[in-house]
Amino acid sequence: MTPNKKSISGIICLVLMMAFTTAFAQLKNEVNLKGTLKNNTYPSLTLYQIGKDPNKIAIIPVDKDGHFAYTLTLNVTDFYKLEFDKNNFIMLILQAGETVEVTTDVNDLMNKLVVSGSKQTSQVIRNQTLIAYTKAKMDSISNLSSQNLTNPKSDSLLKIYSSQYDKINTFRKNALIDFIQNNKSSLAILFLPEALKIDENLDLYVKADSALFKKYPTNFYVQSFHGQIEASKQKLVAAKLTSVGALAPDFTLPDTSNKKVSLSSFKGKYLLIDFWASWCGPCMRELPNVQKIYADFSKKGFDILGVSLDKDRKSWVNAIITKGLPWTQVSDLKYWQSMVVPLYAVEAIPLTVLLDKEGRIIAKNLRGEELYKKVESLVK
C-alpha cells in the first residue's frame, strides 16, 4: 500500500516535532559558561563539580585576549569551581538553562569579579561583599576603640565607637535575615552561617532548611546543612531540658572500675556534676578550686560526680590518681561523642551543673570563688 502525500506530510511533521523537542530538552539542560579575564596569564581553567568528592568536568582553554567559553550539560543545580590554580578559584552555582558570564581581573580576582546570568552565584557575591565590607568597618572601629583606651576622653569615645559598631552589626544582621526570608530555597544561604549564627537564628534557618531540603534533597552541601540544623534543634531541646529549675536528665556511665553509676543514685545530696577531661588545660587549672570545695563540704551533704570526655582510659585514670580526685568519676571514653554531650548540650569544658537534693538544676557553669560561695550557701 503506497502512502499518500497527506500521510507522508504528517510523518515528516512528527519527526520534525520530535527532533525539535529533543533539541529543546537538551538546550534546557545546558549551561553556557563564558568569560573575559583581564591581565590573564593562564592558558586554561579547570571546571570542577564540587561535593563530597570533586569531579573534574573540563579543562577550558583561554585565548590570547583572555576569553573562554564552555557548554556543559547538567540535570541538577549544583556547586562548581572554576579553578585558575590551587589557590585561586571562583565558586559558581550553576542551573540548567543559564548563560553565565564571568569577568574579572586576574591580578585582583575576587574584588573585580562580576558574574551575570547566574542568579544564585550573584546572590553569593552580593552577600559576601556585604559581609566583607561590614567586617572591615567593624574591625576598624574595634581598632580605634583599643587605641583610645588610655585617652582621657575614653569613656565618651568608647560609647561612640560602641554605638557605631552596633549600628553596623545590626545593619548586616538585618540585611542577611531579610535575604533568607525572601530567598528561602537559595543555595546562597549555605554561605551565611559564619556571619549569621545558626543557634541565634534557628527559627529562620529551620524554614530555609525545609525549603532547601525539599528542592535539593540529594545535594551534598544541603544535606550537611540539614544535619547542622537538626543538631542545633537537638541542642536547643537539651538546653531547655538542662536549664536552671529543670530536673537534671538521668544517665548511667561506668566508673574507673567499670561499675555502672547512675546520676539518680546521688539524690538526697547537693551534687556538682563536673564535666572535664585530662586533655583539657582549663579543666586542670580549675581542679584545685573543685578539690577545695569537696574538702570543705563533702561531709555536709554535698558530693561531686566527675564526668570525663576522655577517650583514652589510661590518661583518664592517671589524671584521677595523680591529681588525687577522691569523688566518683565516670566516663564512656567517647570524647565529644559521649552520650552526655547532647544530653546536657555540652559545647565546652570545664562545665559545672549544680543540683539540689531532688536532682533539680540550681546553677550552671559556675567556677572558682563564685562556685565555692554558692555551695557554701546551700550546705549551711
DSSP string, 77-123: -EEEEEEEETTEEEEEEE-TT-EEEEEEEGGGTTTT-EEES-HHHHH
Quickly state the pLDDT bin for 23 (edges 50, 70, 90): very low
Count the neighbouring beta carbons within 10 Å of the beta carbon of residue 294: 19
The whole-number pLDDT of residue 26 equals 42
Write the CATH number of the domain with boundaries 5-116.
2.60.40
Q: What are phi and psi of 135, to 5 degrees?
A: -65, -45
Lowest mean pLDDT of 185-189, 232-236, 366-370, name the range.
Answer: 232-236
pLDDT value for 318: 96
Neighbours of 275 (CB within 10 A): 23
pLDDT number for residue 150: 75
Residue 8 has pLDDT above 60, yes or no: no
Q: Which three cell numbers stand for residue 229?
A: 540544623
Q: Residue-wise over 191-205: b if at least 16 C-beta within 10 A, else e?
A: bbbebbebeebbebb
Phi, psi at residue 150, to the nearest 5°? Answer: -95, 0
Q: Do 299 and 321 meet the contact criterion of CB atoms below 8 Å apart?
A: no
Residue 340 banded pLDDT, cuts 50, 70, 90: very high
Tell me, what's the pLDDT at 165? 93
* DSSP-derived pairing of the beta strands 30-38 and 351-355: unpaired
Q: What is the CATH number of domain 252-379?
A: 3.40.30.10
Model confidence at 370, pLDDT cuts 50, 70, 90, reads very high
Residues 80, 84, 88: CA angle, nearest 5 degrees: 85
| Average pLDDT score, the chain | 91
Give the model's confidence band at 176: pLDDT under 50 very low, under 70 low, under 90 confident, else very high. very high
Q: Residue range 115-132: average pLDDT?
A: 95
Q: How far apart are CA 274 and CA 354, in angstroms?
A: 9
Q: Residue 67 pLDDT more than 90?
A: yes
CA distance linking residue 59 with residue 82, whole number of Å: 10
Three cell numbers, residue 277: 577531661
Backbone angles phi and psi of 121, in degrees to 5: -65, -40
Arithmetic mean of pLDDT, 307-334: 97
Environment class of 210 (CB within 10 Å of its CB; exposed 0-12, middle 13-18, buried 19+):
middle
- How far apart (Å, rounded) are the C-alpha atoms in residues 76 and 373? 61
Q: Do 32 and 98 contact (CB within 8 A), yes or no?
A: yes
Of 238, 168, 162, 244, residue with least CA distance to 199: 238
The CA-based angle 281-282-285, given to 5 degrees, is: 90
Looking at residue 147, its pLDDT comes to 84
6 pLDDT exceeds 60? Answer: no
Q: Which grid coordinates belong to 361?
A: 538544676
Residue 1 scores a pLDDT above 50: no
Q: Is the confidence at residue 376, as pLDDT, over 50?
A: yes
pTM over 0.85: no
- The answer, yes or no, to whether residue 3 has pLDDT greater than 80, is no
Q: Are 180 and 189 in contact (CB under 8 A)?
A: yes
Q: Please count the residues of the chain.
A: 380
Alpha helices in the chain (DSSP H): 5-28, 119-147, 154-182, 202-215, 220-241, 281-297, 313-323, 340-343, 368-379
Residue 35 scores a pLDDT above 80: yes
- CA 369 from chain center: how many Å? 34
Do 187 and 163 form a contact (C-beta atoms < 8 A)?
Answer: no
Question: Is pLDDT of 285 > 80?
Answer: yes
CA distance 149 to 153: 9
- Domain ranges for the chain, please list them: 5-116, 122-241, 252-379
Give me the pLDDT at residue 11, please.
Answer: 55
pLDDT score, position 19: 43
Predicted pLDDT of residue 155: 79
